[in-house]
Amino acid sequence: MTLAPLPASAELVCFNHSCRARFPITEILYNCPKCGGLIEAAYAAPSMDAPELKKLFRERRMSNAPLDQSGVWRYRELSPFLDDYSHVVTLREGNTPLLDAPLAADYGGLKALTFKHQGFNPTGSFKDNGMTCGVAQARRLGMQRVACVSTGNTSASMAAYAAAAGLKAFIFLPHGNISFGKLAQALEYGAKTLEIEANFDEILALIRVLAERVGIYLLNSMNPFRIEGQKSIMFEMLDQRDWRVPDWVVLPGGNLGNVSAFGKGLREALAAGLIGRLPRLAVIQAEGSAPFYEYVHAGAHGEFHPVAHPETLATAIRIGDPVSWPKALNEVQTSKGAVEKVTEQEIADAKAVIGRCGIGCEPASAATLAGIRKLTGAGVIDKDADVVAVLTGNVLKDPDYIHKYHTDKLIAPGGVKIESTYGNKSIVMLNNADKIAGLLE
């Protein structure tokens, strides 16, 4: 097994460009103690050149070593923050497919469309890519307890990785606003689960204070090591395309950690010579939870205005005060990207179309296809463009939503009824062969 060189130069750096304060990689930081800015991990350039790295990454796909089998740690030379890989717990995260979807392409106004489906991860979402890194850092720091607030997927993932690593997991959820499938995962993986009568943003503010007071390691996406893991989604996507760069990468935006991770990974891949240009990043938000869309479309200057009461049935992205917006803005601007918002009806219909491709995803993920349809309609994305849309969560994460949509019972916030445009109701029948045969004919 080939190990990465020791990261003598790995450190934490303040993301705020007028500060750029530097800290040891082993400091527990979610914000800069000097200016309050976001924190990121930074490294010296990899010691291998691009052809060597590509060869190494490809060879590891043949390996039976756990680190090599992980779709995150396979690319460890690009995120070399650990000095000892015995801290890693891997559930073989990543390794998610690129799927062509002609029906969805047509719906989205494109000639072709590829989905990178993160729902194929061990706990069914892209959070696993980040969590293996966050939990490795927790173990390296000797932390015994980890915590997060979550709209459901982070908690499912953290619960699993903490259990596998022998850490105690504390989960804080917005009561009544997470899907049953995600809550069930947290319980099954044995996490201490608290449902709080507050929304995601309010609980995040609460647990930041609590974590410091009682010494728990926070694994929300302002944890820089989560971002390091989620970068690998882009490395794996490029590797699977033999390093051919798409024109656009489209993803849903909630707390905006994932777009921050994608942008960082892509810039680092460019700097390492693995690719020759950046794809454009398109972030799609749900209309009732779209503070980033509003900020960018108002010119992206001055104060950021959170949405006080975010609403959407795509509960994964029901976030009004996204912590990573400064990083996300940098990535959208650097990549000459776009930000779009979509309605509840648009999300629901796009989701059903992704289902009809035989692929399926959870509601937040379907914002991608709804956004693509809008962006091609507006001429922002060309119909010939090479587009990769990232489906962030598995179809089984939110079966209640699916059943309601197909039985014409889905009601959006504010009491607005969602049309069951592509509805597919089951038919209840008596056990009567003649009647059933009649139906089949």
Is the Cβ of residue 114 or residue 221 nearer to ligand F0G in the bound state? 221
Report if residue 315 touches ligand F0G, rule: CB under 6 A: no
Q: How far apart are CA 27 and CA 30, in angstroms?
A: 10
Q: How far apart are CA 187 and CA 194, in angstroms?
A: 10
Q: Which residue in this structure is represented by tokens 């690998």?
A: 232
Is the Cβ of residue 4 or residue 156 nearer to ligand F0G in the bound state? 156
Give min distance, CB of 291 to ligand F0G, in A: 12
Which of 101, 269, 352, 364: binder of ligand F0G (CB under 6 A)? 364
Give min distance, CB of 390 to ligand F0G, in A: 9
Contact window for ligand F0G (CB under 6 A) among 146-154, 203-211, 271-279, 411-419: 146-154
Q: How far apart are CA 186 and CA 179, in angstroms?
A: 11
Report if residue 89 touches ligand F0G, rule: CB under 6 A: no
Which positions from 383 to 422 touch ligand F0G by CB under 6 A, shown as an x/- string?
---------xx-----------------------------
Give min distance, CB of 160 to ligand F0G, in A: 13
Report if residue 291 touches ligand F0G, rule: CB under 6 A: no
Which of 70, 137, 185, 221: binder of ligand F0G (CB under 6 A)? 221
Coil, strand or helix at 43? coil
Are 325 and 292 spatial neighbours (Cβ–Cβ below 8 Å)? yes
Coil, strand or helix at 31? strand
Give min distance, CB of 155 to ligand F0G, in A: 6
Is the Cβ of residue 67 or residue 156 nearer to ligand F0G in the bound state? 156
Give min distance, CB of 66 to ligand F0G, in A: 25
SS3 assignment for 229-297: HHHHHHHHHHHHCCCCCCCEEEEECCCCHHHHHHHHHHHHHHHCCCCCCCCEEEEEEEHHHCHHHHHHH
Report if residue 365 touches ligand F0G, rule: CB under 6 A: yes
Q: How far apart are CA 414 and CA 416, in angstroms?
A: 6
Size, binding site for ligand F0G by CB under 6 A:
22
Helix locations, 97-152, DSSP H: 102-107, 127-140
Q: How far apart are CA 271 and CA 7, in angstroms?
A: 18
Is the C-alpha dihedral spanning 52, 9, 138, 228 positive or negative? negative
Is the Cβ of residue 229 or residue 257 nearer to ligand F0G in the bound state? 257
Give min distance, CB of 18 to ligand F0G, in A: 25
Q: How far apart are CA 244 and CA 269, in angstroms?
A: 12
Report if residue 335 touches ligand F0G, rule: CB under 6 A: no
| Phi/psi of residue 149, nearest 5 degrees | -100, 150
| Phi/psi of residue 401, nearest 5 degrees | -60, -45
Report if residue 185 touches ligand F0G, rule: CB under 6 A: no
Report if residue 46 touches ligand F0G, rule: CB under 6 A: no
Is the Cβ of residue 4 or residue 364 nearer to ligand F0G in the bound state? 364
Is the Cβ of residue 127 or residue 264 nearer to ligand F0G in the bound state? 127
Tell me the CA end-to-end span of the chain in Å, nearest whole number. Answer: 59
Looking only at residues 93 through 132 of this chain, which bind ligand F0G when binding is defined by CB under 6 A?
A: 125, 127
Q: Which of 111, 3, 51 is nearest to 272 (CA)?
A: 51
Report if residue 265 touches ligand F0G, rule: CB under 6 A: no
Burial 254-288 (b: 16+ CB within 10 A, else e): bbbbbbbbbbbbbbbbeebebbeebbbbbbbbbbb
Looking only at residues 225 through 264 of this chain, which bind ligand F0G when binding is defined by CB under 6 A?
A: 252-258
Q: Taking the CA of residue 406 as centre, how many other CA atoms within 13 Å lie in the half-sphere pointing to its CB?
A: 14
Q: How far apart are CA 62 and CA 55, in angstroms?
A: 12
Report if residue 285 touches ligand F0G, rule: CB under 6 A: no
Report if residue 70 touches ligand F0G, rule: CB under 6 A: no
Give min distance, CB of 72 to ligand F0G, in A: 16
Which of 154, 199, 330, 376: binder of ligand F0G (CB under 6 A)? 154
Give min distance, CB of 324 to ligand F0G, in A: 7
Is the Cβ of residue 123 or residue 420 nearer to ligand F0G in the bound state? 123
Is the Cβ of residue 53 or residue 216 nearer to ligand F0G in the bound state? 216
Which positions touch ligand F0G (CB under 6 A)? 125, 127, 150-154, 221, 252-258, 316-317, 362, 364-365, 392-393
